[in-house]
A and B are shown apart, each in its own frame.
With several copies, the nearest count.
Chain A
Amino acid sequence: MKQDNELSKLNQSHNVTLVEAVNLALNRALLSDDTVVMLGEDIGKNGGVFRATDGLQKAFGFSRVMDTPLAETTIAGAAIGMAVAGLKPIAEIQFMGFIYATVEHMVCHAARMRNRTRGRLSCPMVLRAPFGGGIHAPEHHSESTEAMFAHIPGLRVVIPSSPARAYGLLLAAINNPDPVIFLEPKRLYRAQQYELIDDGKALPLDTCFTLREGHELTLISWGACIQECLVVSDALAAEVSIELIDVATVKPIDFATLASSIKKTGRCLIVHEAAKTCGIGAEIAAYVAEHLMPFCKAPVKRLTGFDTVMPYFRNEQHYMISQVDIADAVRKTLADSF
């Protein structure tokens, strides 16, 4: 371990953006665990197209931070091999829109290696990808298809929504002995700065984070939409008492936390950018339909992306969900109370 590494900012406090928090967590993991390696396109000298891996190859060398040929199938498949062989690979897919070539390996192997061998082999890998829209990007650079992976048994899907959670959840994903798909809301990469202490402390997976307490409506979201949800929760505070929950680990979902909140508030609004049909929102709403109907004071509401291809950026805003849309959905849910 290079303890003398200039990048080491251990236990110091930093004012960082979400993408800088990702960089800190990666640096911390590489420093503290020799078995951690990274692979992906442009993650070396270029530091990733969003600079998430900035400086890491310089600090840890090519054998720890590997630029790959342009081949996502192999990035995922080789990471699986590395994980089986005792490393903890962190593979980067440059944008979620290019993650589809990894599906066969993630579904057939990453998700099954432990089960297939009854624990003889395992696959402690992280597949990172920036996801979501709203950054005026070209075609295929705005995908939110977390639900495709959430449907797959054996995978975990984790999505941070702040620098602190990016840091703590990424460390947790790297330490987790099973495969984790870690999706970073690129719209938030540079949105705000937060104080963060690089203490190497991981946050818990499989747990929701309650960001605002309230008793009239449970507002459920994850990823970039959390920022709009926070604004709306505060702006409407006088009008309605909102409990805002960041699901964070969208597979497996921490239903206990969601259920106790909905039992309390009796109302539930789920907000996500991804297409509606079979999204994570469907699973949460279905859970309510199965287990919480007697507690419901209003219909469950989903405010989601449409079941259409996200428009190119000129009309992208017509697809995206705004604070206004969320506030409107909150009010509608209250108005529709039984």
Chain B
Amino acid sequence: MMRHDLVGPLQYLSAEGEVLGQGKLAKELPECAADEALLVSAYRWMSLTRAFDQKAVALQRTGIIGTYPSSLGQEAISVACGMALADHDCFVPYYRDHGSFLVRGQLMEHLLLYWGGDERGSAYGPRDRSQLDMPVCVPIATQASHAVGIASAFKIQQKKQAVLCTLGDGASSKGDFLEALNLAGSWHLPVVFVINNNQWAISVPRHIQSGAPSLAQKANAAAIPNMQVDGNDFIALYEVLAEALQRARKGKGPMVVEAISYRLGDHTTADDASRYRDQEEVDNAWKNEPIKRLQKFIHQQGFWDKKAEGYMQDELQTQLAQAVQAYQQIAAEQPEAMFDHLYETWPASMDDQVVACGERYLRNRDGGVL
């Protein structure tokens, strides 16, 4: 029952959490809107994601982790992606999907480990260890090529599993994504692409990325079904993504979803967005932020109250504190670890470099002397 005829993004709730269109709830809203457990856990995950982002930014400021890209304002997208995925599906992220990682069961200390400059942050993967979720992908849009490769592996292996690949509005300009769409269409692959259109690619505004009114329509080039969704409306996102993944698993082919959102924070902790965008634009965007909207709705539905909110916030802070502590207790790897996973079958000719690495370490250990 997805609305492909739609003009503009699919949206069920107003910024204030009111049901749009006023008709009888059952009529207006999709099933998932009545699923208390689902919405409450979505709300928890989104709240945890925001708390984690806040904490991570603070940790960067104090030098405890490195450059960090907050997902502030985009929690509904990453959490909806995580929740729509089945354990046995494959998640192919970019680098602003902290919420998805959390829902997929990755530990916060491991996310911090990655952003703290330690490869082991990508060593643990999702809850379902059998599943091969991909690690953070830094080279923009390259993950899209991997996603179609994994999807075609699933097809060849006759597994009823789907791939969900995320990317940004800027990434939608890069050939890797556009070629991947073409292959997904030509080979009819079980892959869903989710474009987090947060309006900015660092300092480059959406209108410079493309002359097209929507980014979803890039899929028209490959005749792939596509639609825009309000990226601040969890209910709309979950409905669309769950159905898109179901289609894919059933062999009905790929789909592209453009989630319209806004990057409420700087691009990363290394960025100063005030150089290139007006505070007014940001202030307006805050009115649409996704967490408040879902909170008001579950309040109205009687799924949530002040007390629950209080408990939850305390609980999140405890979890966070424990995660930070766990992260800080993880000692750095040995210097020679840089060789441990380079090749599975070790080339003897590189032994002397491992030795040289050890010597270099000892030589410099205590600052060293000239």
Direct contact of A and B (CB under 8 A): yes
- Could you tell me which A residues sit within 8 Å of B by CB distance? 37, 41-42, 44-47, 49, 63-64, 66-74, 76-87, 89, 97-98, 101, 104-105, 108-109, 114-122, 136-141, 153-154, 156, 176-178, 205-206, 231-232, 235-236, 252-256, 276, 306-319, 322-325, 327-328
Q: CB within 8 A of B347: which of A66, A137, A138, A252?
A: A252
- Could you tell me which B residues sit within 8 Å of A by CB distance? 66-67, 90, 92, 115-120, 122-125, 132, 134-136, 138-142, 144-157, 170-171, 173-176, 179-180, 182-183, 186-187, 201-204, 208-210, 270-271, 275-276, 332-333, 335, 337-345, 347-350, 353, 356-357, 360-361, 363-364, 368-370
| B271 proximity list for chain A (CB < 8 A) | 49
How many angstroms between the C-alpha atoms of A105 and B135 in the bound complex? 15
Q: Given contacts A42-B203, A46-B202, A114-B344, are A80 and B146 in contact (CB under 8 A)? A: yes
B142 touches A77 (CB 8 A): yes
| B332 proximity list for chain A (CB < 8 A) | 314-315
A236 touches B153 (CB 8 A): no
A97 touches B139 (CB 8 A): yes
Q: CB within 8 A of A84: which of B122, B150, B360?
A: B150
| A73 proximity list for chain B (CB < 8 A) | 145, 174-176, 179
| B183 proximity list for chain A (CB < 8 A) | 68-69, 71, 74, 78
B152 touches A122 (CB 8 A): no
| B344 proximity list for chain A (CB < 8 A) | 114, 122, 176-178
B276 touches A45 (CB 8 A): yes
How many angstroms between the C-alpha atoms of A203 and B187 in the bound complex? 35
A51 closest partner in B (C-beta): B275
How many angstroms between the C-alpha atoms of A37 and B155 in the bound complex? 12
B276 touches A46 (CB 8 A): yes
What is the distance, in angstroms, from A54's C-beta to the closest C-beta of chain B?
9
How many angstroms between the C-alpha atoms of A293 and B150 in the bound complex? 50
| B123 proximity list for chain A (CB < 8 A) | 117-120
Could you list 23 A-B pairs, sorted by A, with CB under 8 Å? Answer: A41-B202, A42-B203, A67-B204, A68-B208, A69-B209, A70-B171, A71-B173, A71-B179, A74-B145, A81-B147, A81-B153, A82-B150, A83-B149, A109-B146, A114-B341, A114-B342, A120-B123, A121-B132, A176-B344, A308-B353, A309-B338, A314-B332, A318-B360
A325 touches B149 (CB 8 A): no
Q: CB within 8 A of A116: which of B122, B363, B369?
A: B122
What is the distance, in angstroms, from B167's C-beta to the closest C-beta of chain A?
10
B119 touches A79 (CB 8 A): no
Most-contacted residue by chain A among B146, B155, B202, B356 (CB, 10 A)? B146
What is the distance, in angstroms, from A310's C-beta to the closest C-beta of chain B?
8
What is the distance, in angstroms, from B185's C-beta to the closest C-beta of chain A?
9
A80 touches B370 (CB 8 A): no
| A315 proximity list for chain B (CB < 8 A) | 117-118, 332-333, 335, 337-338
How many angstroms between the C-alpha atoms of A82 and B132 in the bound complex? 11
A154 touches B148 (CB 8 A): no
| B347 proximity list for chain A (CB < 8 A) | 206, 252
A86 closest partner in B (C-beta): B153
| A115 proximity list for chain B (CB < 8 A) | 119, 338, 341-342
B156 touches A63 (CB 8 A): yes
A47 touches B275 (CB 8 A): yes
How many angstroms between the C-alpha atoms of A42 and B151 in the bound complex? 22
A312 touches B119 (CB 8 A): yes
| A323 proximity list for chain B (CB < 8 A) | 368, 370
What is the distance, in angstroms, from A159's C-beta to the closest C-beta of chain B?
16
| A64 proximity list for chain B (CB < 8 A) | 156
A81 touches B146 (CB 8 A): yes
B275 touches A79 (CB 8 A): no
A87 touches B153 (CB 8 A): yes
| B360 proximity list for chain A (CB < 8 A) | 318, 322, 325
A314 touches B146 (CB 8 A): no
**4 cross-chain pairs, A with B, having the tightest CB-CB distances, nearest first:** A81-B149, A77-B145, A46-B203, A324-B368
| B153 proximity list for chain A (CB < 8 A) | 81-82, 85-87
How many angstroms between the C-alpha atoms of A110 and B175 in the bound complex? 18
B163 closest partner in A (C-beta): A81
A108 touches B275 (CB 8 A): no
What is the distance, in angstroms, from B253's C-beta to the closest C-beta of chain A?
16
